[in-house]
Each structure stands twice: as structure tokens, then as C-alpha cells.
Amino acid sequence: MTMPRSSFNAHVTGVAGNIVSIESDGPIMKNEVAYINVGEDRLKSEVLRVYGKVADMQVFEETQGVRIGDSVELTKHMLSAVLGPGLLGTIYDGLQNPLHQLAERDGFFLHRGSTVPALPVDTQWTFEPSCSEGDRLFAGDVIGTVPERRITHKIMVPFAEREEFELLWIGKGNYRIDETIARVRDRRGRERDLTMQQSWPVRRALPAGLLRQRLCERQFPTERLTTTTRLIDTFFPIARGGTACIPGPFGAGKTVLQGLIARYSDVDIVIVVACGERAGEVLETVTEFSTMEDPRSGGKLIDRTIIICNTSSMPVAAREASIYMGITLGEYYRQMGLNVLLIADSTSRWAQAMRETSGRLEEIPGEEAFPAYLDSSVKSVYERAGLLRTNDGSEGSLTMIGTVSPAGGNFEEPVTQSTLGAVKCFLGLSSERAYKRFYPAVDPLLSWSRYLDQLGPQLDRELDPRWTDSVKQMTELLHRGDSVYQMMQVTGEEGVTLDDFLDYQRATFLDMVFLQQDAFDPVDVSVSTERQKGSFQLLRRLINRSYEFTDKEQIREYFTRLTGLFKNLNYAEWNSQPYKQLWDQIHELEQTAISGQAKPAEDPAVST
């Protein structure tokens, strides 16, 4: 969207990296977009601080060649996202420039100051109206729909409107996004045209309560986001519309885990914000999403994905803005009643971009030179996630998962600690588990989820009356097993009792067959809720059995054999003949180690 030029004169008065100071003979607005004219280039910038007619701006481009006295255009518009059909399947930079179009026009090296329209202007969309002439309309009301790839895209009255309208005319058929599809009149008799596109400032959340507040309001999350990853869904659940973080050192598997969550979660839209990752990792993400099959639709995963791409080599200011751009796009699709998953990778580099900008602004630094407002900035980002009831009565959700890359895996550093105060699910990755080839390398002794208690009543109703209590019991077993392991590191196996050794073997068995999952196995990569339920109930039964063991070698041999059978069970197709045979073998092995009469094997398809 082209920004209008200001009638006021402004010029550059100082340059410090990507921070440029300006002076204007007219008013300056905080967060408004401005352009610095450097030869034939127009460098997009954003006003950060205003002192009367003097302001500091961050520039989204390289500032080489910017000199004192260069002219500046003030637009009186804030940095905004263009919203409308055509977003899905697009790879943007942090300012919503489609990268593939820039590459086609300018080559594979981005030219400074280059911009292209965020949405395809020549594409025609088949518009189907959903309201009639004479209807009263408010901001956020749906006036029609168009098909966008595999979803129904709702065209809504612009969210910036704060008046009631009367619909005078509405079209039907094929239109471009900039063509008039409806005409409305406000209470003062002023008429205006509506198109399929609108814009919204990225640093301001889309309003949860519009004029029809009785309908459009935030809801309390009551459903679990199903990721088909056993460790997450069972032990550390994430609510639909909730927040989570995945901190971990380099090489611990953050990118692989977030890719699995994006691919297999039960959401309609996926938004990946690569806000500062290395170019190789971003290229891998783009390639995989473009070619990977979508398990929900059978098409390509990119068809329901938007990628915001800002590598670590791109300008700092653009990296900082990219996460706000992604959240705004997610809020837009949430307003349509869709379930959206936003993954930010990684928020550490986003915070580092803020630290660099804050240093150049000579602000008072906080811990480790991060800005003093780091904590509030992190919280303001995560609080934009949530569950929302829209104007038409449907419910949409925006679930946000941020990955954090603390140096050396130190979870005490400021970005991780600020994130922990903002989210309700913490999936801490461990380099020790990654080195042992335990994947996902989420450390169950460090991780937690407050959603387990929040969603507990629903999980107990849908899965098992004892589900939540059993998960907590298994978590306690993991902690007991770790304590025994630490003791054995000092005293050896001879220094622990038979019962303690049994707890250690039980905890190891739980870790090996349930917490670990093979991302490269076509069966184990994604586990349905029904199968997770059956596996967990079988696991609970095996762990809670009263066994008749006489020595530690007998315990070790039994759980080694049991682990092998259960792992093969995980690799077998659900309810297939090999699956049932393995189930019977597990039952037979179980009978050799328990007291009392043997019982018939239970049907694996039936709740145990």
C-alpha cells in the first residue's frame, strides 16, 4: 500500500547506525512511517521518540549514504499490515514485502528501498455477498466471502471504523482486491466505498471488543491444542488460544519440534515468523513448508501457511518489526473464526534487535544491556494471543509459541525469564537429552504447563476420569527416578534398595517409550489422541503393577524386554495385526512378572 506524502518539510539531523534523528517544521507522530530520500532510494523508517519537532527514527534499511540535510517524508500513518485475500502461501519480509516477487523483479539480492504490493493486485476473487442492501453494519461485520486456497476468507467491514453504517449497495462476482464491492452510508449521510483489503497498525492489537461488544469478546480457553506429540499433549498440554515457549541451546532440536507442531497441530492457519534465524535455517523452513504434504488436507502445507522471513543478516529494525507483523496477520484470521498457530523463531534475536536499538538511542540499560522495558515488551506480545468470539458468533483462536535461544542454554538470562512470566507452558529443551538422542529433547524435570490443571476437568471427561491425577503421578515418578539415578552415580547400584531401583527402571521405561518420539518414522511421527489414550493407559497399568522381583538383574531384564516391545508397538500401525500381536506379547511378558492368576489380554482398541 503506497503511503501518502506529507506537506511538511523534514530533514536529517544525525545518524547513528540504523537510528536517524530528524527535524520537521510540522507535527510528528510517534510510530508513524517516514521515508528518507537518498538519491533515488526511499528508505522506510518508523518514528520511535518525539521531542516537539525533533524525533528519532529507526530505519528498516541500511543507512549507508544517509547524510545530514537529506529530506524526509512524514506519512502520518503508522506501520501497518495490509489485510485481505492472498496472504496464504506467501513468504514476506518483516515489512510485508513478498520476497518471491522482489526476487522475480530485482534478482536474488534485495535492493535497498525496493517495495512491492503486499497482496496480488491483478488476481480476481469470486466474491459472494452475505448481507443485503439496507442492513446495518459495524466494524468487523462480515459482508461476504471469497475462496482463498483451502479456506473461506471472510471480507469484513474495516476494523478501524467506529460508526454504524447502512449498506447501500453490494456486488457479486469477480473483483480485484482494490475494486469496490460495496457502498455504505454513515449516520451523517456520508457515503464511502468498501474493497476487499484494509490495513491495521501492527503495534496495536486488533480490537477484541468492537461496537457489538455483546458478541465480540475474549473467551477463557477450555480446549487443548492437539499437537499429536505425546509428551506435549499428555504431560505439558497447550490450550487452544494459549501461549507457550520452547527455550533451549543450539542444536537441541527447537526447529524440528516447532516444525512438527506446525505440521500436525489441529489448526487452520500456521504463521511462522523467522525473526532473526540464520539464513540456512530459514531456507530449510521455506523449502520444507513449500514441498511438505499437509496431513489435514492432502495438499501442500504452504497452502495454509504464511512465513515472515527476517534472517540474522537483515536490518535490525525489520527483524524487530517482523514479529508484530506476524501477530497482526494471525489476529486477522482469528477474526474470521479460524484457529491460528503462530510460531516465533526466535524471540531471543528479536530481543537482541531491541537491545541494539535501545543502545543506539542511549537509553538506560537493564540486565545484560537489554532495554529496561524488555519484560513489558515480551508480555505485550504474548498477551495478543487468545480465544475470541467474533461478530457473527463464531470462535477463533490465536495460539502463540515462541522459541528462545539462551546463550549456553542458560535459562536464567533475561529473555527466558521474561518469557516465563508471560506464558503458561514451558517446554525446556536440554542439551544433555539431545546428546543422548532423546527426541523431542524436552526435559520433563524442567518443563511445566499450567494448562494441565486448567484443562483437567475437560481432559478427565473426554479421556479418562483419572487422567490428570495419573499424569501428575507419572511426573512424580520421573522425579523419583532421577533422584535414584543421581544417587547411583555416587554409590553404584549396590547403594540403592530394590524398590528404589524398581522406581528408576519404571521412570526410564516411561521416558523411553512415551516421552520420546521418532520424528522420522511415518507412524510414530504423529500420534492421534485415541492412540495416545490407549498407550498411556497401558503404560499406567504396567508401571502400577505389583511385581514379584527378587534381584535387580531380573528387574533390568524385564524392563529392557518390555521397552523393546513397547517401542515396536509405537512403530506399528494403529490396530493393525502386528500391533495386536505386540499388545499380546506385552501382556504375556507382564504375566511373568506379577503375582496372581493370568488374565486374558485386553483388546487394544478398547479403553484399558
252 annotated ligand-binding residue: yes
115 annotated ligand-binding residue: no
Q: How far is Cα 543 from Cα 327, in angstroms, rounded to an integer?
A: 43
Bridge partners of residue 275, in order along the sequence? 310
In terms of DSSP H, where are the helices of 202-342? 230, 254-264, 279-291, 316-334
Phi, psi of 583 (to 5 degrees): -60, -45
Crossing angle for the helix pair 498-510 and 552-571, to the nearest 10 degrees: 10
DSSP-derived secondary structure letter, 356: H
- Please list, residue by residue across 57-94, b when 16 or more beta carbons sit within 10 angstroms of its beta carbon and e when fewer do: bbbbbbbeebeeebebbbbbbbbbbbbbbbbbbbbbbb
Phi, psi of 325 (to 5 degrees): -65, -45
Sign of the alpha-carbon dihedral angle for 153, 158, 163, 168: negative
Which residues are within 8 A (CB) of 309 and not within 5 positions of it... i.e. 6 or more apart? 91, 92, 93, 99, 274, 282, 286
Residue at 463: amino acid letter = L
250 annotated ligand-binding residue: yes
Residue 360 CB neighbour total at 10 angstroms = 15
253 annotated ligand-binding residue: yes
In terms of DSSP H, where are the helices of 64-144? 99-106
Q: Which helix (H) or strand (E) holds 237?
A: none
DSSP-derived secondary structure letter, 164: -
The Cα angle at residue 13 between residues 10 and 19, in degrees rounded to 5: 100
Cell numbers found for residue 268: 487452520
Beta strands, E only, 499-576 = none
Residue pair 601/587 in contact by the 8 Å Cβ criterion:
yes
Q: How far is Cα 271 from Cα 307, in angstroms, rounded to an integer?
A: 6
Phi, psi of 532 (to 5 degrees): -60, -40
Residue-by-residue DSSP string for 403-422: EE--GGG-TTSHHHHHHHTT
Residue at 36: amino acid letter = I
Q: What is the dihedral of CA 36, 38, 42, 45, to 10 degrees?
A: -30
SS3 135: coil
HSE toward the beta carbon, residue 355, CA cutoff 13 A:
15
Cell numbers found for residue 202: 501492527
Q: How far is Cα 420 from Cα 571, in angstroms, rounded to an integer?
A: 35
Cell numbers found for residue 138: 459495524
Binding-site entries: 248-255
Binding-site entries for ATP: 248-255
